[in-house]
Amino acid sequence: MLKLYHEPISPNSRRVWITLIEKGLDFELVKVKLNGEQFKPDFLAISPFHHIPALVDDGFTMVESLAILDYLEVKYPTPAMLPKDAKDLAIVRMVEMVSVNELLPDITPLMPVMLGLPGGDPEQIEQTKQKIATALNLFENLLDHRPYFGSKNLTLAEAVAGSIVTWLPKGDVSLDGYPKLSAWCDACGERSYRLIARPSWQTTQATPEMIEGFRTMLMAKVV
Ligand X SMILES: N[C@@H](CCC(=O)N[C@@H](CS)C(=O)NCC(=O)O)C(=O)O
Binding site for ligand X (CB under 6 A): 10, 12, 34, 38, 50-53, 64-65
Q: How far is the CB of 63 from ligand X (least distance, A)?
A: 6
Beta strands in the chain (DSSP E): 2-6, 27-31, 54-57, 60-63
Identity of the residue, 10 or 166, whose beta carbon is nearer to ligand X in the bound complex: 10
Quickly list DSSP for 82-95. S-SSHHHHHHHHHH
Q: For the chain, first and last CA: distance in Å?
A: 41
Measured over all CA atoms, what is the biggest interatomic distance in the chain, rounded to whole angstroms?
51
Residue nearer to ligand X on the CB measure, 64 or 140: 64
Which one, 6 or 129, has the nearer CB to ligand X?
Answer: 6
Q: Which of 93, 105, 112, 76 is nearest to 215 (CA)?
A: 112
What is the spatial distance between Cα 149 and Cα 95, in angstroms, rounded to a whole number? Answer: 8
Q: Which is nearer to ligand X, 89 or 104 (CB)?
A: 104
DSSP 8-class letter at 168: G
- 52/185 with CB nearer ligand X: 52
How far apart are CB 195 and ligand X at their closest, in Å? 20
Minimum Å gap between C-beta 154 and ligand X is 20
Residue length of the chain: 223
CB of 12 to ligand X, least distance (A): 4
Q: Please say which residue, 4 or 195, places its beta carbon nearer to ligand X.
A: 4
Instruction: Identify the burial level of 160 via C-beta atoms within 10 angstroms of its C-beta, where 0-12 means exposed, 13-18 middle and 19 or more buried.
Output: buried
Dihedral (C-alpha) 175, 177, 178, 179: value to the nearest 10 degrees?
Answer: 100
Q: How far is the CB of 78 from ligand X (least distance, A)?
A: 24
CB of 142 to ligand X, least distance (A): 21
Report d(CA 61, CA 46) in Å as an integer: 7
